[in-house]
Structure formats: structure tokens, C-alpha cells
A and B are shown apart, each in its own frame.
Chain A
Amino acid sequence: EDKVVQSPLSLVVHEGDTVTLNCSYEVTNFRSLLWYKQEKKAPTFLFMLTSSGIEKKSGRLSSILDKKELFSILNITATQTGDSAIYLCAVGAGGTSYGKLTFGQGTILTVHP
């Protein structure tokens, strides 16, 4: 059974801090790893990491994928209150599971002013 585990489950920081969110996985026929941000309702897509793209960066957010050790991290530098959200990690598989995503539990990030 495919499994995705995120840590920590919750995190409280102050504006300006840097945070690192972790995601480890055990997936048969790994194809991709995705990060989403969920503020109140719909999760919004942040990054997708694959064998051909193991590092992504967008502004203050960056992510890397370690396919050997089966984990990914999401870094947020100079955090702002608007970064407060649930961060979801999901893994996509190939073969008969192509198109399906397995999600982790999410990390609840709270950024205080």
C-alpha cells in the first residue's frame, strides 16, 4: 500500500522565520511528488518534482526531491502571515495507478506577526 508521511503535523513560527516541511513516501512505481497549499478551501498547486526535475524554486518557496532516500522538503524563507495554511504533499504513481495521488496528512503552518 502506498504511503506518504508528513512532518511536523503542525508548526508555529513568527514572521521572518525560515521553515522546513518534510515529506517521506513509500510508493510503488513512483512518478512524481507534488506540493499544495490549502488556505481555507481549495488546495492550490505549488510544485511538482519528478526524476527530471528534483529541485524547484518560486520566490521564497523552494523544494527538493531525494529519490534515493524517498523524501522531499519544502522550504519557506522570510515567512509572512499569508503563508499560514495547510501544506499538503502528494505522490503520483505510474502503471495501473497512473493519475492517482496519495496524500500525506498535511502540515498546519501558523505564522504569527
Chain B
Amino acid sequence: DGGITQSPKYLFRKEGQNVTLSCEQNLNHDAMYWYRQDPGQGLRLIYYSQIVNDFQKGDIAEGYSVSREKKESFPLTVTSAQKNPTAFYLCASSTTSGRLETQYFGPGTRLLVL
């Protein structure tokens, strides 16, 4: 059963704490993406990676970090430098053998600040 999984579904962060959101895909896709969704603002790109061990900043990368050590996995760390982290975070993937921009999304993680 192919797809994208994200965990946890809900995550609570305390002040000054780093937290990591998980994203795994078994679609054999080369490219993976992280978006942030706030009410009324659509989706904004945080980071993306088109190949293992390489990634690029998106439009709102400040306060976030990523790694891409395996093709299947693209974890996102929300650092303490991100002052307004409360949002819905979506991970997506796409294949370079097709239309790269046709992205498929995971179920999301909702991050809340305590």
C-alpha cells in the first residue's frame, strides 16, 4: 500500500524546544517537500529536496532545518528560532520520471505551542 506517512498527527512544543516532524514515503519518489499551512494563506514552501543528500530552502526556511539521508525519509526540525511555529505542516513527494510538479501529500502534522 504505497503512500506518504507523517507522524505524529499532533505535536506540542514548549518554549525553547526543538521538535522533529517525520515524513516517510514508499512511492519511490525522488523529490520531497515540506509546506506550512496557516489559515487564509494557502501552502508555503519551507524546504525541498530533489535528490538524496541535497536540499534547498523554500520561501520560509528561517527557523527550520531538514536532512535527506535516505530517499524514503525527509524529517523537518522546527527549531527554537522559529518564533511562530503553530501551524499545519504538510509533506509531499513527486517523481522525476514524470511531471515533477505533480506532488502527492501526506496527512499532515498539527504543531501547537504550549
Contact residues of A with B, CB < 8 Å? 4, 6, 9, 31-32, 34, 36, 41-45, 48, 88, 90, 92, 98-106
Contacts and interface: CB of A to CB of B under 8 A. Distances in A.
What 5 A-B pairs have minimum CB-CB distances, sorted nearest first?
Answer: A92-B101, A99-B100, A103-B42, A103-B43, A42-B105
A88 B35 CA distance: 13
A42 B41 contact: no
Interface in B42-83: 42-45, 48, 50, 58
B42 A104 contact: yes
Contacts of A98: 100-101
Interface string B93-111: 0100001111111111000
A31 B44 CA distance: 19
A45 B102 contact: yes
Given A88-B42, A100-B45, A100-B48, A43 B90 contact: yes
A9 B40 contact: yes
A88 B43 contact: yes
A98 B60 CA distance: 18
A94 B100 CA distance: 10
Contacts of A48: 99, 101-102
Given A98-B100, A99-B48, 13 more contacts: A9-B40, A34-B101, A41-B107, A42-B4, A42-B107, A43-B90, A90-B101, A101-B43, A101-B101, A101-B103, A103-B42, A105-B40, A106-B42
A88 B40 CA distance: 11
B101 A31 contact: yes
A98 B106 CA distance: 21
